[in-house]
Structure 1
Amino acid sequence: MTVSALTIAVDDGSTNVKVSWIENNQLKTIVSPNSFRKDWKSAALRRDKKVYNYTIGTTKYTYDATSDKALETTHVDYQYDDLNLLAVHHALLQTGLEPCAVTLVVTLPITEFYNSEDCQRNEENIEKKRQNLMREIALNKGELFNIVDVQVMPESVPAVLSTLMNSSCNEFTRSLVVDCGGTTLDMGVVVGEFDDVSAVYGNKEIGVSMVTDAARKALASADSDASYLVANELIKRRNDMDFVREVVNDESQIDTILTKIENKINELGSAVAHEAKKFAKNPNRVYLVGGGASLIYPALLDAYSTLGDRVVLINDSQSALARELCMYHADEATFDVSPETLVEVADD
């Protein structure tokens, strides 16, 4: 029997999972944070709060947004382990869709997708990623999506597909795409309106986790141990003093914590700019995507100062890759896609 499966694009990053799908002729997107710990959580007292308790093999996991026992996902091995399987299934449940058969289009960092020796597809890693997401997983008192097939795509360059197609560039334009994620830095040089990808480069030592780790350590020193999710939220909302005061218990340490975060952001920007200039010294355009894009934007503007407004921070840069993958794999004869809807995800 042939099962009709919905195709869903999933950029399953180490910090957040970005999911895009087409529903009622509209492109929809969610961003689902990763924050899992071992063992199960007790049932919620409030009926409007859902508890997500999972089992993989004999190991129990739960989604816990604020626990300082949250398991680390900011490493490349995350792409092939239990936490990746958890993160993808948990994100699918946040879409609001009824669990059904799905085909997933997922991603791998460039350093994992391509062989470093010859820049060809690393079929072993690609298959390992596929098989990881096809494994059995159970949700206590709930139903999960049935993943019937998995396609794997490289990170970074597909995120600017529609941008380049509408950019009026010529066949000789060289565009540098910089994707700064939670764990890895991925870059590619695209020729023309996606006529060719002339070079790719990745560094799995550079990512937003540099800032996240510094934020967690600073919080811990202020008697404010926090999960990776809370630390990342602090980075995003560091200028919101009401939020900062809620997160930091020892308020005398607030200035010190914020200074450490800003210093690490500057360090991240300098590291990305250095790698970018080594990889593509004089591109015609630079496009920034990924969860860390806004953090490194000032450093890239400075590094490519002669380009001016041709250094572009893509709108909703964190979810750009998932959106583009969804559009690329959509059946254009079937879908007439209207403007995108960003679906809110509650922090249960």
Structure 2
Amino acid sequence: MQAVTLKFAIDDGSTNVKISWIDEGRVRSITSPNSFRKDWKSAALLSDKKIFNYQIGSTKYTYDATSDKALSTTHVAFQYDDLNLLSVHHALLQTGVAPCEVKILVTLPITEFYNADDCQKNEANIARKKANLMRAITLNKGDVFQIVDVEVLPESLPAVLTTLVDSGVNEFTKSLVIDVGGTTLDMGVIVGEFDDISSVYGNAEIGVSMVTNATRKALAAADSDASYLVANELIKRRHDREFASEVINDLSKVDWVLECIANKINELGDAVAYEAKTFMRNPNRIYLVGGGATLIEQAVREAYPSLENKIVLLDEPQEALSREICCYHAAEVDEIAVAS
């Protein structure tokens, strides 16, 4: 008999982990937010409430969506530390698939995947990433997936593979891909239908964390200390007045907090537009992907007014990368012979 080792495509970003896999011929995708603190939680009062208490070495961690003591993941070092290992395993457990042996495809920001001086693969960083995710981790009163193989890919560019193939571009079309994640801004220029990647660029100082950190500070000033997850949720639902009033304790400062968020979003958009124009002045097309794509769309459109409908915000831009990696590698699922 033949058994198939499941393969998951994982875009393990600093704010959220996006994971896609093939289930009965269909692509499934979920987004798992990162919000971990040290030490363990006590058992839940409700029987249907699952508690995720992990241990790596001698250190205990727990998933805590609302704690203001949640550990920061918005830094490049996240790619190689305990929190990255936690976030990937926690995301796997959210898929609903029973824990088993799996192979995973994960990502690194362009600035980490390629050497800055020659644009070749940074083998040292790739090896660090693999080694980190092969480490042991345990779940209290539960099982975790056994990662038997790790493949590392660059972020952003694969996210537009299907879109480019279906867009009718010619061999001379230059497409600028802009990926705004939680911590980094990644950009690349693709020629034709992925005939060539002419250049790549990354900035580890620009990302949605600019808005998240400003939002947490504003919430703290309004007597509303919050986790990174809650701050990001407020950013997404900033036009929902009722939700904002639930999150912000000092109701006299609701408008001020929302104004702080709006100003920081504008600042992020301006920063991304400036970097994009510096990197690629006149592309033929632009594709926006990543969790921050919707936040910077208007600023990019204003920076490239002549492109109009050739600026495309991908559907579900946050999950686009994991979805495309999953589809592209679906045919490469390995079969392992086992005794019947």
Q: Which residue of 2 aligns with 1:125?
A: 125
**Which amino acid is the alignment partner of residue 62 of structure 1?**
T
1:249 aligns with 2:249: yes
SS at structure 2 position matched to 1:271? helix
**What is the root-mean-square deviation of aligned Cα atoms in Å?**
1.2
Q: Which residue of 1 aligns with 2:337?
A: none
**Which amino acid is the alignment partner of residue 184 of structure 2?**
T
**Which amino acid is the alignment partner of residue 271 of structure 1?**
A
**Which amino acid is the alignment partner of residue 125 of structure 1?**
N
| Structure 2 CA distance for aligned equivalents of residues 332 and 74 of structure 1 | 32
| Structure 2 CA distance for aligned equivalents of residues 136 and 143 of structure 1 | 12
| Structure 2 CA distance for aligned equivalents of residues 194 and 157 of structure 1 | 9
SS at structure 2 position matched to 1:239? coil
SS at structure 1 position matched to 2:234? helix
Q: Deviations over 1:52-101 (max 9, x none)?
A: 00000000000000000000000000000000000000000000001111
**Which amino acid is the alignment partner of residue 171 of structure 1?**
E
Q: Is the 8 A contact 2:5 2:333 kept in 1?
A: no
Q: Which residue of 2 aligns with 1:88?
A: 88
Give, in angstroms, the shift of residue 331 of structure 1: 1.0
Q: Which residue of 2 aligns with 1:147?
A: 147
Matches within 5 A, 1:328-339: 328-331=328-331
Q: Is the 8 A contact 1:218 1:257 kept in 2?
A: yes
Give, in angstroms, the shift of residue 333 of structure 1: 9.9
| Structure 2 CA distance for aligned equivalents of residues 315 and 197 of structure 1 | 23
Matches within 5 A, 1:216-295: 216-295=216-295
Identity %, equivalent residues: 68
**Which amino acid is the alignment partner of residue 205 of structure 1?**
E
Give, in angstroms, the shift of residue 3 of structure 1: 7.5
| Structure 2 CA distance for aligned equivalents of residues 331 and 307 of structure 1 | 36
1:179 aligns with 2:179: yes
Q: Deviations over 1:269-302 (max 9, x none)?
A: 0000000000000000000000000000000000
| Structure 2 CA distance for aligned equivalents of residues 329 and 7 of structure 1 | 9
Matches within 5 A, 1:72-111: 72-111=72-111
SS at structure 2 position matched to 1:258? helix
Q: Is the 8 A contact 2:6 2:333 kept in 1?
A: no
Matches within 5 A, 1:303-322: 303-322=303-322
SS at structure 1 position matched to 2:9? strand
Q: Is the 8 A contact 1:55 1:138 kept in 2?
A: yes
Give, in angstroms, the shift of residue 5 of structure 1: 1.6
Q: Is the 8 A contact 1:75 1:183 kept in 2?
A: yes
Q: Is the 8 A contact 1:175 1:283 kept in 2?
A: yes
| Structure 2 CA distance for aligned equivalents of residues 311 and 13 of structure 1 | 24
1:52 aligns with 2:68: no
Q: Deviations over 1:2-23 (max 9, x none)?
A: 9742110000000000000000
**Which amino acid is the alignment partner of residue 201 of structure 2?**
Y
SS at structure 2 position matched to 1:141? coil
With the length of structure 1 as denominator, give the TM-score of the two structures: 0.94
Q: Which residue of 2 aligns with 1:170?
A: 170
* Residues 121/160 of structure 1: CA separation in 2 closer, same or farther (3 Å cut): same
Q: Is the 8 A contact 2:164 2:193 kept in 1?
A: yes
Q: Is the 8 A contact 1:3 1:101 kept in 2?
A: no
SS at structure 1 position matched to 2:306? helix
Q: Deviations over 1:140-186 (max 9, x none)?
A: 00000000000000001100000001000100000000000000000
**Which amino acid is the alignment partner of residue 8 of structure 1?**
F
| Structure 1 CA distance for aligned equivalents of residues 133 and 58 of structure 2 | 17
Q: Which residue of 2 aligns with 1:198?
A: 198
| Structure 2 CA distance for aligned equivalents of residues 333 and 87 of structure 1 | 23
* Residues 253/279 of structure 1: CA separation in 2 closer, same or farther (3 Å cut): same
Q: Is the 8 A contact 1:5 1:148 kept in 2?
A: no
SS at structure 2 position matched to 1:176? strand
Q: Is the 8 A contact 1:187 1:201 kept in 2?
A: yes
Q: Is the 8 A contact 2:7 2:333 kept in 1?
A: no
**Which amino acid is the alignment partner of residue 216 of structure 2?**
R
Q: Which residue of 2 aligns with 1:343?
A: none
Q: Is the 8 A contact 1:174 1:191 kept in 2?
A: yes
Which 5+ residue runs of structure 1 have no aligned equivalent?
A: 335-348
Q: Which residue of 2 aligns with 1:345?
A: none
**Which amino acid is the alignment partner of residue 293 of structure 1?**
A
**Which amino acid is the alignment partner of residue 108 of structure 2?**
L
Which 5+ residue runs of structure 2 have no aligned equivalent?
A: 335-340
| Structure 1 CA distance for aligned equivalents of residues 158 and 33 of structure 2 | 22
With the length of structure 2 as denominator, give the TM-score of the two structures: 0.97
How many residue pairs match? The answer is 333
Give, in angstroms, the shift of residue 118 of structure 1: 0.2
